[in-house]
């Protein structure tokens, strides 16, 4: 299928967005890789729910299939209680599952090339993600991209309530790269990425690989989207 820009996103717009960006912030799962492409998210959710079921006074989250949402729900349920140590326990289990997943994760088409081109043209690049930072670093090492990102990998905080749509990881990325909101562009594939970018005052480009993602982002208010990173890669050559 031929890739195309969404009606509201022209080549000129992409070039303008990139030209204004001294730093490009990448969400990890989607724009850079499909984390659970070979290790299904439903399997991870099942592993988390099995652990939760072994706890006394455990919340019933068996209807949840999003691992991040399960972690957040546990953090909310145990906030301030004598069981709040369970949050760290579940976070470690999720991080272990993510480490397994990234070992077989495949790159998003043109993602590696885009990162290298941006770095070669003097842009700072950072990862701003709800995934484990350790899993991200492992994947970047595997793809030979670690040097491009350097220390600018900002993953899930110890407090899951600081996951996107909270802008915490974006703030951390701007601090580490020495850039301000007006100097950054975030590339993300979910409404919560967009909400975090808006909260941080950062420009946003949606990566919507299919019609479902396009609808989700459009419904959230995203103005600029691409269905393939090839367009961003091409624009980065001249921006």
**Euclidean distance between CA atoms 102 and 98, whole angstroms:** 6
Output the pLDDT for position 59: 85
pLDDT tens for the chain, 239 residues long, are: 457 676 668 899 999 999 999 999 999 999 999 998 766 888 999 999 999 999 988 888 888 889 999 999 999 988 877 778 899 999 999 999 999 999 999 999 999 999 999 999 999 999 999 999 999 999 999 999 999 999 999 999 999 999 999 999 999 999 999 999 999 999 999 999 999 999 999 999 999 999 999 999 999 999 999 999 999 999 999 99
Domain ranges of the chain: 11-35+107-236, 41-102
Beta bridge partners of residue 206, listed in sequence order: 188, 225
Q: What is the pLDDT of residue 175?
A: 99
**CA distance linking residue 36 with residue 29, whole number of Å:** 8
Residue 6's pLDDT is 66
- pLDDT at position 56 is 86
**pLDDT value of residue 156:** 97
pLDDT at 7: 60
d(CA 226, CA 185): 14
Is 21 strand, coil or helix? coil
Q: In what order do the strands lie in the sheet with 153-154?
A: 153-154, 124-128, 23-26, 184-188, 203-207, 225-226
CATH topology of domain 11-35+107-236: Rossmann fold (3.40.50)
Sequence-ordered list of residues with C-beta below 8 angstroms from that of 60, at least 6 positions apart, any chain: none
* Conformational region of residue 122, where left means phi above 0, alpha means psi within -120 to 50, and beta covers everything else: left
Around Cβ 211, how many Cβ atoms within 10 Å?
9
Distances (CA, A) of 115 to 147, 150, 170, 181, 210: 11, 12, 18, 20, 22
pLDDT for the residue numbered 189: 98
């Amino acid at each position: 299928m031929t890739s195309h820009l969404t009606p509201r996103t022209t080549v000129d717009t992409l070039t303008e967005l990139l030209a204004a960006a001294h730093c490009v912030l990448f969400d990890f799962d989607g724009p850079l890789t499909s984390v659970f492409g070979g290790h299904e998210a439903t399997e991870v959710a099942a592993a988390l729910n099995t652990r939760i079921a072994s706890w006394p006074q455990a919340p019933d989250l068996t209807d949840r299939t999003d691992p991040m949402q399960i972690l957040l729900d546990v953090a909310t349920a145990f906030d301030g209680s004598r069981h709040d140590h369970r949050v760290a326990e579940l976070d470690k289990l999720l991080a272990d599952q993510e480490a397994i997943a990234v070992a077989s994760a495949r790159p998003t088409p043109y993602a590696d090339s885009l990162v290298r081109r941006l770095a070669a043209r003097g842009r700072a690049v950072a990862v701003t993600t709800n995934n484990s930072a350790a899993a991200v670093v492992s994947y970047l090492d595997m793809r030979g991209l670690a040097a491009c990102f350097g220390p600018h990998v900002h993953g899930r905080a110890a407090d899951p309530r600081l996951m996107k749509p909270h802008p915490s990881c974006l703030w951390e990325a701007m601090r580490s790269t020495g850039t301000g909101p007006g100097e950054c562009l975030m590339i993300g594939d979910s409404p919560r990425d967009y909400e975090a970018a808006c909260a941080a005052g950062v420009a946003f480009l949606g990566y919507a690989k299919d019609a479902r993602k396009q609808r989700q982002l459009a419904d959230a208010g995203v103005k600029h989207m691409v269905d393939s990173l090839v367009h961003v890669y091409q624009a980065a050559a001249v921006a």
